[in-house]
Amino acid sequence: MIGTQMFPMDNLIPFDDTYVLYDPSDIVSFISCYFSLLPIAILVFYFSWFVTNREMEAVFIAVGHLMNEILNNVVKNVIREPRPYNFGTFQKETLRSGFGMPSAHSQFMGFFAVYHCMRLWLQWTGLRCVHKVLGSAAVVVATICVAGSRVYLGYHNVPQVLVGVAIGAFLGSLYFLLVGLIRYSGFSDWVLTWRLAKWFLVKDSCYHAPISLREEYEAYWRRRSRLEGPGKAD
């Protein structure tokens, strides 16, 4: 447009968490991009879970992932092992490290997989064994796919993703025990008595009074039948 003046924006950088470079002519590279973004989708799920259900479990898990991410950045800056390929300004001059050891995505998924598998097998007593096996297999496959995508896209080598998964798995198991201790001590119940927690309607039914999808579904129909009267919900 006439009279429009263009100003340089040299201080701007891409948001690296969702900035993934791939080969558009390679279908595996394209699919790997979506697996690489899976941790972001999981975090969005946690946020949506809390907003819709106000479950304290969502807060516990989100805090655990935050601690896991901070530790990953610390370890990277201590080891200072470069990535297998040079991605130019990727994660340069940002709060995150541009180093490759260990892989943050792999560490995220290692934490995610172990925490949820332990919760699945040790706390979800109402589930059938086959459902626990399928759930565990799903998170393990997701972890392998995310870690593999980071290697395929060239952001990490195999040792970097293996170390990432191992550290994440170790931290996930420790954090699961820590959350159990917090609940056993009554600290989480005390937090639920805070005015802010009551104002946001925060609850811990995921631990104290868990309800399955089938139970929730059946409760929906019972409530609907009461509201509509007999015969209308058939």
Residues 70 and 45 in one domain: yes
Write out the two tokens for 156. Answer: 């990490």
With cut-offs at 50, 70 and 90, classify the pLDDT of residue 17: low
The verdict on residue 13 lying in a domain is: no
Residues 161 and 225 in one domain: no
pLDDT of 140: 95
At 144-182, the pLDDT tens digits run 999 999 998 888 899 999 999 999 999 999 999 999 999
- Kindly state the average pLDDT of the residues 63-69: 94
Residues 143 and 209 in one domain: no
Environment class of 101 (CB within 10 Å of its CB; exposed 0-12, middle 13-18, buried 19+): buried
Report DSSP letters for 21-61, one per residue.
---TT-HHHHHHHHHHTHHHHHHHHHHHHHHHH-BHHHHHH
Residues 141 and 170 in one domain: yes
Q: Are 38 and 108 in contact (CB under 8 A)?
A: no
Residues 97 and 209 in one domain: no
Residues 137 and 106 in one domain: yes
pLDDT at 115 over 80: yes
Residues 181 and 209 in one domain: no
Query: Which one, of 93, 124, 113, 223, lies nearest residue 168 by Cα?
Result: 113
Domain count, the chain: 2
pLDDT at 109 over 90: yes
- Kindly state the average pLDDT of the residues 198-216: 82
Residue 210 lies in domain? 204-234
pTM summary value: 0.81
CA–CA gap between residue 161 and residue 166 (Å, rounded): 9
Q: Rounded mean pLDDT of the chain?
A: 84
pLDDT at 46 over 70: yes
Residues 97 and 193 in one domain: yes
Residues 134 and 197 in one domain: yes
State the DSSP code for 17.
Answer: G
Residues 99 and 183 in one domain: yes
Residues 120 and 171 in one domain: yes
Q: Cis ω on the peptide bond leading into residue 102 (within 30° of 0)?
A: yes
